[in-house]
Amino acid sequence: MDMKNIETYKNKTVLVLGLGKSGINSAELLLKLGAKVIVNDKNTPQKMDDINRLEKLGAKVITGSHPTELLENVDLMVKNPGIPYNNIMVATAIKRNINIITEPELAFEISEAPFISVTGTNGKTTTTTLISMMLNQNCAKGHAYAAGNIGIPLSEVAQKATKDDQIVSELSSFQLMGITELHPKIAVLTNVYEAHLDYHGSREDYIKAKMNIVKNQTADDYFVVNWDNEEWQNLSRLTAAKVIPFSRLKKSTDGVYVDNDKIYYKDEVVAKLSDIKVPGSHNVENCLAAIAVAKIQGKTSQEIVEVLHNFSGVRHRTQFVRSIAQRKFYNDSKATNMEATEKALAGFSGPVVLLAGGLDRGVTFEKLEPALKNVRAMIVFGETADLLAKAGKNAGVKKIIKTENAVTAVPIAFEESQPGDVILLSPACASWDQWPTFEVRGDKFIDAVEKLAEKLEDK
């Protein structure tokens, strides 16, 4: 183990709330650090392997309900980021002045490796992936690990990373609400749109959570920020770090920017715009953010271009699945808000059959209407099916069909498409009304596309 052997949690009673990947890893780590660990989850998992292992290691595990008496004599709570603050256990902990942190905080405290941390409404996963690829390109010493909200628990990676390594951590606003010491050497803000207002209550609180990413930064650190919006420019005043802007619209030439189809870092030409192989202006922004980090870390332009040439996108984010009968299928299940779907649609110039719908968060979809101009047909599903159908109708979409989910939508979309069309799953909504995660939704969609291909080949 290369982790710092800290004394902070020794003999402390810690309640880990939520049995997800991050909860299990947090519990195991806390046990190694000498804490007395209680794990609580309101659901009882079907597979008991993790529970049995945690109990063997000395944890007390209670599932199936939230007994608040578990909080007696608890020194600290480590909360699964997705559990809201009005949850009975969390609300009771707040009332009793019990400190609440999330797993990234724990990971940072034991990490020998410095953190590069990425947050924002959209583009986090793509930017995190690109940064780790660029830093690993021709790297002679150490490794850049991509972890966090990307699907790999930070506490798992922090235990094996050495001081020669770097941890590129994707951090959601949910995770950032629970930090105290976390201090990235480089913090990245991709953008800020309205999202998760059901969790944060107001846009102000959402931004405040996001900007926790810079709260411990000093003048020796860096804040890489999207400069194409005045609000985001103003957020840079909240950090003590050196500000490195990136701008697709050439709003600043102090960092990374686009000019005449070339990408610059200050005065240096780094790459051509055509070196970026993933579609859409949002992916240009993600690449600019990653280039800024790579340049801060001393990577050459040649190394950066090699990565741009090889990067074809991340799973569930405008991911090309396959062509069937001259129709191209794309999986953009990670589009859990309108802005992400707008950006995905803007990446295609030809006709699109759009598959959309999901969790009703109380928003309407008027803002999406201008983006639907190239949409030939909409296949809508989930709690927001009728709201999306209304937006489609207002936008003049000729054919709108309601179906059960992203799987049943696939054969219908094929029927409504023509050769040369793009068939795009970009739901504009979270998946939780029908699927546990957007990854599951995307995987089920991919399976349905493969099944359709097999069926058509059999004919």
Which residues are annotated binding-site positions for ATP? 120-126
CA 30 to chain CA centroid, nearest Å: 25
CA 301 to chain CA centroid, nearest Å: 27
- Alpha helices (H) along 177-238: 197-200, 203-210, 230-235
Neighbours of 10 (CB within 10 A): 11
Binding residues, by number, are 120-126
Query: What gap in Å lies between CA 103 and CA 202, rounded to an integer?
Result: 24
Which among 237, 138, 142 is positioned nearest to 189, based on CA atoms? 237
> Is residue 78 within 8 Å of residue 16, measured between CB atoms?
yes
> Is residue 103 within 8 Å of residue 155, measured between CB atoms?
yes
Helical (H) or strand (E) element with 259 = strand 256-259
What does the buried/exposed string (b/e) look like for 237-247 if buried means 16 or more CB atoms within 10 Å of the residue's CB?
ebbebebbbbb
Which among 168, 184, 250 is positioned nearest to 221, based on CA atoms? 184
Residue identified by tokens 């940064």 is 131
